[in-house]
Protein backbone atom coordinates (compact mmCIF):
# COMPACT_ATOMS: atom_id res chain seq x y z
CA UNK A 1 0.00 0.00 0.00
CA UNK A 2 2.87 2.37 0.79
CA UNK A 3 4.45 1.77 -2.64
CA UNK A 4 1.18 2.65 -4.35
CA UNK A 5 0.84 5.90 -2.39
CA UNK A 6 4.48 6.71 -3.12
CA UNK A 7 3.96 6.19 -6.88
CA UNK A 8 0.76 8.24 -6.81
CA UNK A 9 2.49 11.06 -4.94
CA UNK A 10 5.43 11.02 -7.37
CA UNK A 11 3.08 11.07 -10.36
CA UNK A 12 1.04 13.91 -8.86
CA UNK A 13 4.20 15.91 -8.11
CA UNK A 14 5.39 15.39 -11.68
CA UNK A 15 2.07 16.65 -13.04
CA UNK A 16 2.21 19.70 -10.77
CA UNK A 17 5.78 20.55 -11.82
CA UNK A 18 4.91 20.19 -15.52
CA UNK A 19 1.82 22.35 -15.05
CA UNK A 20 3.89 25.02 -13.33
CA UNK A 21 6.46 24.97 -16.14
CA UNK A 22 3.70 25.27 -18.74
CA UNK A 23 2.14 28.24 -16.94
CA UNK A 24 5.51 30.00 -16.67
CA UNK A 25 6.26 29.32 -20.33
CA UNK A 26 2.92 30.72 -21.50
CA UNK A 27 3.30 33.79 -19.29
CA UNK A 28 6.80 34.54 -20.58
CA UNK A 29 5.74 34.06 -24.19
CA UNK A 30 2.85 36.49 -23.80
CA UNK A 31 5.24 39.11 -22.48
CA UNK A 32 7.47 38.58 -25.52
CA UNK A 33 4.50 38.81 -27.90
CA UNK A 34 4.67 35.26 -29.22
CA UNK A 35 3.57 31.85 -28.10
CA UNK A 36 6.85 30.34 -29.18
CA UNK A 37 5.32 28.57 -32.16
CA UNK A 38 5.01 31.52 -34.54
CA UNK A 39 1.41 32.27 -33.58
CA UNK A 40 2.08 35.66 -32.01
CA UNK A 41 1.40 39.00 -33.63
CA UNK A 42 4.10 40.00 -36.08
CA UNK A 43 4.76 43.61 -35.17
CA UNK A 44 6.98 44.10 -38.23
CA UNK A 45 3.87 44.20 -40.46
CA UNK A 46 2.83 47.62 -39.22
CA UNK A 47 3.10 50.09 -42.12
CA UNK A 48 4.76 53.48 -41.79
CA UNK A 49 3.25 55.98 -44.23
CA UNK A 50 5.39 58.80 -45.66
CA UNK A 51 2.99 60.30 -48.25
CA UNK A 52 -0.78 60.24 -48.64
CA UNK A 53 -3.20 60.86 -51.49
CA UNK A 54 -6.76 62.10 -51.22
CA UNK A 55 -9.05 59.95 -53.34
CA UNK A 56 -10.90 61.85 -56.08
CA UNK A 57 -14.28 60.97 -57.56
CA UNK A 58 -13.84 58.14 -60.06
CA UNK A 59 -10.58 56.84 -58.59
CA UNK A 60 -10.12 53.10 -58.19
CA UNK A 61 -7.34 51.15 -56.54
CA UNK A 62 -6.08 50.18 -59.98
CA UNK A 63 -5.98 53.78 -61.22
CA UNK A 64 -4.16 54.97 -58.10
CA UNK A 65 -1.61 52.17 -58.42
CA UNK A 66 -1.03 53.12 -62.08
CA UNK A 67 -0.96 56.90 -61.51
CA UNK A 68 1.71 56.66 -58.83
CA UNK A 69 3.67 53.82 -60.50
CA UNK A 70 3.16 51.49 -57.55
CA UNK A 71 2.83 47.75 -57.59
CA UNK A 72 -0.26 46.11 -56.11
CA UNK A 73 1.73 44.26 -53.44
CA UNK A 74 3.31 47.44 -52.09
CA UNK A 75 0.05 49.42 -52.28
CA UNK A 76 -1.77 46.69 -50.36
CA UNK A 77 0.98 46.50 -47.76
CA UNK A 78 0.96 50.22 -46.96
CA UNK A 79 -2.86 50.28 -46.90
CA UNK A 80 -3.64 47.07 -44.97
CA UNK A 81 -7.26 47.88 -44.08
CA UNK A 82 -8.23 49.15 -47.52
CA UNK A 83 -11.37 47.76 -49.14
CA UNK A 84 -11.04 48.58 -52.84
CA UNK A 85 -14.77 48.03 -53.38
CA UNK A 86 -15.55 50.87 -51.00
CA UNK A 87 -13.07 53.66 -51.57
CA UNK A 88 -14.66 57.10 -51.57
CA UNK A 89 -13.77 60.66 -52.54
CA UNK A 90 -11.86 62.32 -49.73
CA UNK A 91 -10.43 59.08 -48.34
CA UNK A 92 -6.72 59.30 -47.57
CA UNK A 93 -4.57 56.48 -48.92
CA UNK A 94 -0.90 55.91 -48.34
CA UNK A 95 1.16 56.08 -51.54
CA UNK A 96 4.66 55.96 -50.08
CA UNK A 97 6.02 54.28 -46.98
CA UNK A 98 7.70 51.23 -45.55
CA UNK A 99 6.36 47.88 -44.41
CA UNK A 100 7.27 44.23 -44.23
CA UNK A 101 6.42 42.82 -47.68
CA UNK A 102 4.88 39.65 -46.19
CA UNK A 103 1.84 41.61 -45.03
CA UNK A 104 1.23 43.07 -48.45
CA UNK A 105 1.24 39.80 -50.37
CA UNK A 106 -2.12 38.72 -49.00
CA UNK A 107 -3.67 42.15 -49.57
CA UNK A 108 -2.12 42.39 -53.06
CA UNK A 109 -3.84 39.16 -54.01
CA UNK A 110 -7.16 40.71 -53.06
CA UNK A 111 -6.41 43.84 -55.11
CA UNK A 112 -5.42 41.72 -58.11
CA UNK A 113 -8.68 39.79 -57.80
CA UNK A 114 -10.58 43.10 -57.79
CA UNK A 115 -8.69 44.21 -60.92
CA UNK A 116 -9.69 41.00 -62.68
CA UNK A 117 -13.33 41.30 -61.60
CA UNK A 118 -13.41 44.99 -62.69
CA UNK A 119 -12.08 44.03 -66.13
CA UNK A 120 -14.70 41.28 -66.41
CA UNK A 121 -17.45 43.77 -65.49
CA UNK A 122 -16.23 46.25 -68.12
CA UNK A 123 -16.43 43.66 -70.91
Best-predicted range by mean pLDDT (25-29, 38-42, 73-77, 112-116): 73-77
Q: Do 100 and 44 meet the contact criterion of CB atoms below 8 Å apart?
A: yes
| Beta carbons of 89 and 57 less than 8 angstroms apart | yes
**CATH architecture under which domain 43-122 falls:** Roll (3.10)
Residue 23 confidence (pLDDT): 86
Neighbours of 55 (CB within 10 A): 17
Q: What's the confidence (pLDDT) of residue 115?
A: 61
User: Where exactly are the structural domains of the chain?
Assistant: 1-41, 43-122
* Confidence check: pLDDT of 75 > 70: yes
Q: Which residue has the higher pLDDT, 72 or 121?
A: 72
**Quick one: average pLDDT of 52-76?**
94
Task: Give 79-121 pLDDT, tens digit per residue.
Answer: 988 999 999 999 999 999 987 655 445 555 656 666 655 565 5
What is the pTM assigned to this prediction? 0.49
The number of C-alpha atoms within 13 Å of 101 and in the hemisphere containing its C-beta is 4
Give residue 33's region: left, alpha or beta (phi > 0; psi -120 to 50). Answer: left
Q: How many of the other CB atoms lie within 10 Å of CB of 119?
A: 10
Q: Average the pLDDT over each of 13-17, 39-43, 91-95 and give the range with the smallest value.
A: 39-43
Amino acid sequence: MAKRNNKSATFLNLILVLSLLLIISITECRQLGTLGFGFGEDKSTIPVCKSVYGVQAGDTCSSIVQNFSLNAEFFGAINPNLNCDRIFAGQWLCINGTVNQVAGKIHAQAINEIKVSNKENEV
